[in-house]
């Protein structure tokens, strides 16, 4: 059986005087090395693309983190300067892809911005500048250091009993990294909260009606997926789901050879 393939929606980036559609090495590398899945990076071109035609050709969807934020208008909020930076092309691609992947029963892993997109896609809201909210801790990346320092494993989160995540990680406390200014506000109907930070910030959710693995995490399991057991287990579970989803299609392929 060839390695399964996951769709990875790109960020819109601008460098060398032009626009690129890109995904970071840490995500596609963890998908290949730990989940055992190849990545098709999907341009952030929104409705101009046939989402179903793309999903027909993959075995799962991984929504990555990004420094950009979901447009506030998508969750009924008036836009403020502090809500940016934005990536409307990514929003226009990820939100319909998330909804369609769930409807089709495809494995779905949403990371950091990805959990925020999952929540908005299903009707929830976000809060900005979490660290300024009463009783909340600072979830932003550490103020300095190299990339390893920014993604250091440092924050406790509690995985709730009886959840999808508890089946993968075990219930109780795990340590994660944290690099986000926004967080889930109103949890979307159809999402179950699976893990929370000590200040009550939602750190993981799952799709209640999902016919497959459909999990969002606010932290970054991709970064230490090879060496951190909590991170590794999450990516391994995603890979198992993607391979199981691919198997029937692989048999069809073999049958027609
Ligand atoms: N922009 C959102 C989501 C944060 C996120 O995905 N961070 C990852 C970026 C880290 C990096 O790649 O440098 C928020 O701030 O909440």
Residue 111 pLDDT more than 50? yes
pLDDT, position 47: 87
Length of the chain: 257
pLDDT, position 45: 98
Task: Give the separation between CA 168 and CA 182, rounded to whole angstroms.
Answer: 26
pLDDT, position 113: 98
On whether ipTM exceeds 0.90, the answer is yes
32-69 pLDDT, tens digit per residue, is 999 999 999 999 999 899 999 999 999 999 999 999 99
For residue 180 the two structure tokens come to: 């986000």
1-23 pLDDT, tens digit per residue, is 799 999 999 999 999 999 999 99
Q: Is 180 in the pocket of ligand 1 (CB under 6 A)?
A: yes
114-159 pLDDT, tens digit per residue, is 999 999 999 999 999 999 999 999 999 999 999 999 999 999 999 9
Collapsing DSSP states into helix, strand and coil, what is residue 108? strand
85-108 pLDDT, tens digit per residue, is 999 999 999 999 999 999 999 999
Give the residue numbers annotated as catalytic, written as ranges.
112, 220, 222
Mean pLDDT, residues 218-228? 98
Q: Whose CA is nearest to atom 4 of ligand 1?
A: 180
Distance from the alpha carbon of residue 98 to the mean position of ligand 1, in angstroms = 18
Measured over the CA atoms of residue 131, residue 136, residue 140 and residue 142, the dihedral's sign is positive
Closest-CA residue to 7 (of 112, 97, 70): 97
Closest-CA residue to 66 (of 132, 101, 6, 21): 21
For residue 66 the two structure tokens come to: 């990004």
224-255 pLDDT, tens digit per residue, is 999 999 999 999 999 999 999 998 765 444 44
Task: Give the separation between CA 223 and CA 14, rounded to whole angstroms.
Answer: 23
pLDDT, position 233: 98
Mean pLDDT, residues 160-187? 98
Closest-CA residue to 2 (of 256, 242, 202): 242
End-to-end CA distance of the chain: 13
Q: Is 104 in the pocket of ligand 1 (CB under 6 A)?
A: no
Ligand 1 atom closest to 147 (CA): 13
Mutate to test the pocket of ligand 1, among 179, 182, 216 (most ligand atoms within 8 A of CB): 179
Q: Is 201 in the pocket of ligand 1 (CB under 6 A)?
A: no
Task: Give the separation between CA 98 and CA 103, rounded to whole angstroms.
Answer: 9
Which structural domains are found in the chain, ordered by start? 5-255 (3.40.50.880)
Distance from the alpha carbon of residue 63 to the mean position of ligand 1, in angstroms = 12
């Amino acid at each position: 059986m060839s390695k399964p393939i996951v769709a990875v929606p790109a960020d819109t980036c601008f460098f060398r005087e032009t626009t690129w559609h890109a995904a970071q090495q840490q995500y596609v590398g963890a998908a290949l090395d730990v989940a055992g899945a190849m990545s098709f990076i999907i341009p952030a071109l929104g409705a101009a693309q046939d989402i179903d035609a793309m999903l027909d050709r993959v075995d799962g969807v991984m929504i990555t983190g990004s420094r950009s934020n979901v447009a506030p208008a998508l969750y009924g909020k008036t836009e403020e300067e502090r809500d940016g930076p934005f990536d409307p092309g990514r929003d226009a691609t990820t939100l319909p892809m998330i909804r369609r992947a769930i409807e089709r029963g495809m494995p779905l892993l949403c990371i950091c911005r990805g959990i925020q997109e999952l929540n908005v896609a299903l009707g929830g809201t976000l809060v900005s500048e979490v660290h300024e909210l009463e009783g909340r801790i600072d979830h932003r990346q550490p103020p300095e250091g190299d990339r390893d320092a920014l993604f250091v494993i440092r924050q406790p989160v509690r995985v709730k009993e009886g959840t999808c995540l508890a089946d993968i990680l075990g219930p109780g406390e795990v340590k994660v990294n944290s690099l986000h200014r926004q967080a889930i506000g109103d949890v979307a109907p159809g999402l179950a909260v699976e893990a929370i930070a000590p200040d009550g910030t939602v750190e993981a959710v799952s799709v209640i009606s999902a016919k497959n693995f459909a999990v969002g995490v606010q932290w970054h399991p991709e970064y230490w997926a090879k060496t951190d057991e909590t991170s590794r287990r999450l990516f391994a579970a995603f890979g198992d789901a993607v391979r199981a989803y691919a198997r029937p299609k692989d048999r069809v392929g073999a049958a027609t050879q």
